Copies of this chain bind each other. A is one copy, B any other.
Amino acid sequence: VQSDPRQVFDDLVRFETVLWAAVDERLRTACGLTLGALNVMLVIDATPDCRVLDIAQALAITVGGTSQAVDRLEKAGHCARRANPSDRRSSILELTADGRTMLEQASPVFDAELARLLQQPITAAALARLGDTLAVLRRSAVSSSTDPEPPA
């Protein structure tokens, strides 16, 4: 039984590092795509009228960093900025045909690595509990960083 918070923090951070590196390596060699790039493309693909801000919130990174990531994706020809008719401060992001092709090629590679590193080592029930717990922790952490102080 493992309940020392420092040890949980350590295993969480180190496993995330190893998991990210392994998936990234696989995507690079198989598709020439970075995991960071794939993450952005998945958000664009899943979000109607997607803006830079939507990606930043979905990935829990800064808006500035997201803008640069979109620059790189656009330079690689995987996505494009389109004029936003309802708000001229922002653009609507969409995948190019090339980007959709990349996404289709990368998806099975992504899923295979997740199966190998997440599903194979533990039971389906354990994975489901892990997902539930992480979802609760994530929502709690995000809301506590948004709300400076609880009502007295």
Contacts and interface: CB of A to CB of B under 8 A. Distances in A.
Interface of A: 1-9, 11-22, 59-61, 110-111, 114-122, 124, 126-138, 140-142, 144-145
Output the residue of A7, A127, A132, A134 with the most chain B CB within 10 A: A134
Given A3-B127, A9-B118, A21-B60, 9 more contacts: A2-B132, A2-B135, A8-B130, A8-B131, A12-B15, A15-B134, A22-B145, A121-B141, A126-B133
Contact of A6 (B15, B19, B114, B141): B114
B11 A128 contact: no
B6 A138 contact: no
Given A2-B135, A135-B2, A144-B116, A19 B11 contact: no
Contacts of A8: 114, 118, 127, 130-131, 134
What are the 5 tightest A-B residue pairs by CB atom distance, in nearest-first order? A2-B131, A121-B140, A11-B134, A3-B128, A5-B114
Contacts of A142: 18
A52 to B, nearest CB: 17
